[in-house]
Amino acid sequence: MFKLTVEEKFDAAHKLENYEGKCSNVHGHTWKVIVSIKVSIIESNSNHSDMILDFSEIKKVIRKFDHRLLLKNNKENNKWLPYVPGIKLLEYNPTAENISKDIALKIQYLLTSNILHKFRIKVIVLETEKNQVEYNIVGDENV
């Protein structure tokens, strides 16, 4: 059994939609993301010789959120695009839950495009040191 783990931080602001409370205002965090991938074998026909996935590819997925204002793609938020540089419009409400799922799905795509189909992915997103969310994808029950 092989386990690859990458930890990466990014700084980003977000605003939650359809939420009553202080997080409905624009606010920022230093987010921490921990990605773990387990595989039972490294397939020889992978695009990465003797690797599950290059660490830099995982970091690239996470860094796309860095120094951005994360907003749900809607009419109200679209009006800010010409005036505020660094907006990243998302197809979802930018909660820690949705961000962890998005990262996991992007990593799943990288794995399956590299011919790896028997894997487990765990993505933990920490919004603060004490608040975290975990999202898992099981590509095969036997891993």
- Tell me, yes or no, whether 14 lies in a domain: yes
pTM confidence score: 0.92
- Tell me, yes or no, whether 106 lies in a domain: yes
- Tell me, yes or no, whether 107 lies in a domain: yes
- Tell me, yes or no, whether 134 lies in a domain: yes
- Tell me, yes or no, whether 143 lies in a domain: no
Q: Read off the pLDDT band of 139 (50, 70, 90).
A: confident
CB atoms within 10 A of CB 95: 19
Identify the burial level of 77 via C-beta atoms within 10 angstroms of its C-beta, where 0-12 means exposed, 13-18 middle and 19 or more buried.
middle
Is the predicted pLDDT of residue 98 greater than 70, yes or no? yes
Overall domain count for the chain = 1
- Tell me, yes or no, whether 94 lies in a domain: yes
- Tell me, yes or no, whether 121 lies in a domain: yes
The full length of the chain comes to 143
Identify the burial level of 130 via C-beta atoms within 10 angstroms of its C-beta, where 0-12 means exposed, 13-18 middle and 19 or more buried.
exposed
Looking at residue 80, which CATH number applies to its domain? 3.30.479.10
| Residues spanned by the domain of 6 | 2-138
Q: Read off the pLDDT band of 106 (50, 70, 90).
A: very high
SS (HEC) of the chain = CEEEEEEEEEEEEECCCCCCCHHHCCEEEEEEEEEEEEECCCCCCCCCCCCCCCHHHHHHHHHCCCCEEEEECCHHHHCCCCCCCCEEEECCCCCHHHHHHHHHHHHHHHHHHCCCCCEEEEEEEECCCCCEEEEEEECCCCC
Residue 106 to residues 41, 109, 130: CA-CA distances in angstroms? 21, 5, 25
47-64 residue pLDDT tens: 666 788 999 999 999 999
- Tell me, yes or no, whether 78 lies in a domain: yes
Q: Read off the pLDDT band of 24 (50, 70, 90).
A: very high
